[in-house]
Amino acid sequence: MKILKSIFDNNREWADKISKEQPDFFDQLSKQQNPEYLWIGCSDSRVPANEIINLPPGEVFVHRNIANVVVHTDLNCLSVIQYAVEVLKVKHIIVCGHYDCGGVTAAMEKKQHGLIDNWLRHIRDVYRFHAKELDGIEDFEKRKDRLCELNVVEQVENICNTTIVKNAWQSNQLLSVHGWIFHLKDGLLQDLDVTTSSLP
Ligand code: CO
């Protein structure tokens, strides 16, 4: 008996469907990737990058972690950004958060969650930077939504401050960094209007 057979069945069905529609698709795909977008999003299973922007394999370079955080010293995320910017020469980096983010909710709670609290610390920092605004929002749900948005804005700032992006702009490479948020309730994306395309 094949382990997780249904998943392999799904995979075959998917590959067959694409091959039927575009017979040379996988042949082309195996030769190179040429994505224009780097997507940095949350690991949440409800926010699958390619699917929600309706783009096929080969179009989006993806990095996901809990609560779409870009930490200055995270070699994993920084390596993804470096490869995307310097080798793939993506034109857009998109930080996409989402409302009802479990990581953001956990960061707002007083109780401990174990190891992950050390990661969520970064979101607590975002809260601290914006405590005045956030503390002024009485409704917990609304405050949480706002922290989800502010978290994206802060991560855009962090990306813009990496040596990788600064160097790209210094050498006039075409590159924009965007902050978006995804509504789980209707599947729609919203631009948070913090797009940055050059050094300040
Ligand atoms: Co999330």
Pairing mode, strands 37-42 and 60-65: parallel
pLDDT at 2: 84
With a pLDDT cut of 70, the percent of the chain lying above it is 100
Give 72 Cα–ligand 1 centroid separation in angstroms.
20
Give 5 Cα–ligand 1 centroid separation in angstroms.
29
Q: Which two tokens stand for residue 171?
A: 């050498």
Give the chain's radius of gyration (CA, Å): 19
Contact call for residues 35 and 58 (beta carbons, < 8 A) = yes
Spans in the chain with pLDDT lower than 70: none
Which residues are catalytically annotated?
42, 44, 46, 98, 101
pLDDT at 112: 95
- Whole-model pTM: value is 0.96
Coil, helix or strand at residue 123: helix
Give 86 Cα–ligand 1 centroid separation in angstroms.
28
In 10 A of CB 47, how many CB atoms? 19
Using a CB cutoff of 5 Å, list residues around ligand 1, an ion: 42, 44, 101, 103
